[in-house]
Amino acid sequence: MEFFFIIHRSALHIAALKGNKKICEMLLKVKANPELEDKDGNTPLHLAMINLVPGIVQVFAKFNVPWTKANHKGQTVAHLAIYYQSIEVVKFLGNKKFPIDWNVADSEGMTPALIAASLGLDKVLELLLKMGASPSAVTADGSTIVHLAAQGGHASIIPVCAAQAAPIDQENEAGIKPIHLGCASGQIPVVQALQKALADLNAPDKEGNVSIHYAILNAHSEVADFLIDHSIDVNAKGKGGQTPLHMAVDREMLDMVTYLTEKSADVNVKDENGETSLHYAIKRLNIPIVQALLAAGAAANAQSRDGNSPLHLVATRHAVDIGKLLFASNAEVNIKNTQRQTPLHLATQCGDTEIVALFIEKQADLNVSDENDNVPIHLAVLNSKIDVMKQLKEAGANINAKDSEGQTPLHLAAKTQQVEFLKLLLDFGADPKIQDAHGQTALHFAADLTNYEMVKSLIEHGAPIDAVDENKNSALHFAALKMDKKVVTLLINNNANCKLMNDKGLTPLQGVRLTFSKYMKALINERDSEHEVTDTVEYHPGNILNQNNETLNSHADLKESFCLLCKRRAAVAAMMPCGHLCVCEVCLKERVNQTKICPQCKQEVTGAVNILAE
């Protein structure tokens, strides 16, 4: 007893493990307990199954031993008899006087029949099925005896299964059928046996892959030959619409690619994304496979669902050598995807000067527009690719091309505050006078962003300082609203017109804080005095009348008058052509357009003009 607690095994355990029949029988006769378990849950009978000493099981059979007791792995003597491949013991245990359950599963879901199938023990399996083992038993993952036989490459098991009506085409929980495992095993006899057992060679798994996909993915060309000879489509589509060729290319299996092309696989079949095997090969940057596919007739201009051709993929992967191979196969350099992008657009975005040079060499259209009317040089600016921008300009790209907003690369450089790009574009001859769809020049953007360096460069290159946008705003309007002294000073010192009114009737001096307005007036006075200008920024009213019909002859004579439309705010605008000062700033914006007569003199009017600065 003390010995048992030390090693967790009794004398009967030791004798059984050693296969000593005489000692086992002697111990059993003196009432040694056959139900004691070691640390693994094994009884002496479990250990007796291991050594396969002939007759030892028969010794235990003389006594009342636990035939159905399982160890910690769920294994009974029935499981162990199969694991240790003792057909004689199986036959002995098949005697109905022993309470053996041939369908009990161990902790891994394996019944004796499943174990026999996995080990290829056809004679044992046949015996088990005759003794009542179920031909429909499944493992924990739903695999049948046919699955295990196919996976293990045990062709001799298949006829036994078929004879006992075992499910030949049943799928496991992963959606895989025995024929799939047979093809993956590469064992022709297994595939042949399954075919004779009427397995469906075209049966798909849950992802849509069929037998030929499994054969190719596991590089079993002989199995593929068998399948093709039995009318399996070499172009069968599986997961994602992929053919065996797609899968072989994707896994860079050159031998299988060569094999399939020799078997007349269609190299131009498209998957569910519209991609051919050539698209796959380029994504893998596998030059030998690209060469093999092109030699087999792959279309160099095939387009995917998003319109990308092989050249589009080359453009984003620095695949110069593959690009040359495609051009040798008549690839179209100006082919467009669904976004109307050519390969040059994509190469420009990536900043790949080598690919861009290759496309230019092949006569790529430098001024072709995408769906946003961006030409490649626009994208060079937007993606900060200055070397590519230089390449495109040197190759003859239109430096003043307009996008869908009417904006040139110069506009984009200003909008994105890329000073280096802006200066280089100006040096290249970009036209700073061009206005976009909203009437804005690059100077408008630079002033609005208060970027002194850009404003300075644009002015130096002849940007129209008083150009107005669709809202009649000049660059000075934008800079003044941002109250940036440095940019405002630069604009005023370069003779920006401070009298220009936008469509709200505001000059640059209006709509800003009073202190900043005074700052601007001081700049204007200083500028005008330095240049001895007599026509200063102060307004000279001319034929303007107050509400007493008195002519205003100077700025000093302007008297505060109330608006005759709302009768609440100060009048700042004169009705035209009569000249009466009788409209406030708010009514100028909101009511004058509907006013047909002057509220002072009742004469017909054409509008009003704001004559007062803040």
d(CA 598, CA 365): 60
Question: Which pLDDT score is estimated for 537?
Answer: 38
The pTM is what? 0.79
Closest CA to 368 of 397, 409, 331, 408: 397
Are 444 and 436 in contact, with CB atoms under 8 Å apart? no
The listed range with the strongest mean pLDDT (20-29, 78-87, 236-245) is 236-245
Our measurement of the distance from residue 83's CA atom to the centroid of its chain's CA atoms, rounded to an integer in Å, reads 49
Our measurement of the distance from residue 151's CA atom to the centroid of its chain's CA atoms, rounded to an integer in Å, reads 36
Which pair of tokens denotes residue 451?
Answer: 């970027």
Are 129 and 92 in contact, with CB atoms under 8 Å apart? no
Our measurement of the distance from residue 416's CA atom to the centroid of its chain's CA atoms, rounded to an integer in Å, reads 27
Which residue's entry shows tokens 């008058």?
561
d(CA 518, CA 525): 10
Residue range 542-581, pLDDT digits in tens? 467 777 777 765 555 555 678 888 887 778 888 877 888 8
pLDDT average, residue stretch 257-273: 98
According to DSSP, residue 556 is labeled G
Question: Which pLDDT score is estimated for 86?
Answer: 79
Any bridge partners for residue 576, and if so which? 607
Domains of the chain: 399-537 (1.25.40.20), 544-610 (3.30.40)
pLDDT average, residue stretch 224-239: 96
pLDDT average, residue stretch 47-54: 84
Count of beta carbons in the 10 Å neighbourhood of residue 419: 17
Biggest CA-to-CA distance, the chain: 143
Please compute, for residue 197, the number of CA atoms within 13 A of its CA located in the half-sphere on the CB side.
Answer: 28
The string over 107-126, giving b where at least 16 C-beta atoms fall within 10 Å of a residue's C-beta and e elsewhere, is eeebbbbbbbbbbbbbebbb
Banded pLDDT at 44 (limits 50, 70, 90): very high
d(CA 171, CA 581): 93
- List the single range of 338-352, 376-390, 491-505, 596-610 with lowest mean pLDDT: 596-610
According to DSSP, residue 466 is labeled T
The listed range with the strongest mean pLDDT (54-63, 289-298, 530-539) is 289-298
Banded pLDDT at 1 (limits 50, 70, 90): very low
Helix, strand or coil, per DSSP, at residue 349: helix
According to DSSP, residue 594 is labeled G
Banded pLDDT at 614 (limits 50, 70, 90): very low
Question: Which pLDDT score is estimated for 460?
Answer: 97
Which pair of tokens denotes residue 410?
Answer: 């110069």
d(CA 270, CA 341): 21
Average pLDDT, the chain: 91
Establish whether the linkage from the previous residue to 577 is cis, with ω within 30° of 0.
yes
Please compute, for residue 27, the number of CA atoms within 13 A of its CA located in the half-sphere on the CB side.
Answer: 21
Instruction: Determine the residue type at 196.
Output: K
Helix, strand or coil, per DSSP, at residue 607: strand
pLDDT of residue 184 exceeding 70: yes
Instruction: Determine the residue type at 20.
Output: N
pLDDT average, residue stretch 588-596: 81
Count of beta carbons in the 10 Å neighbourhood of residue 387: 12
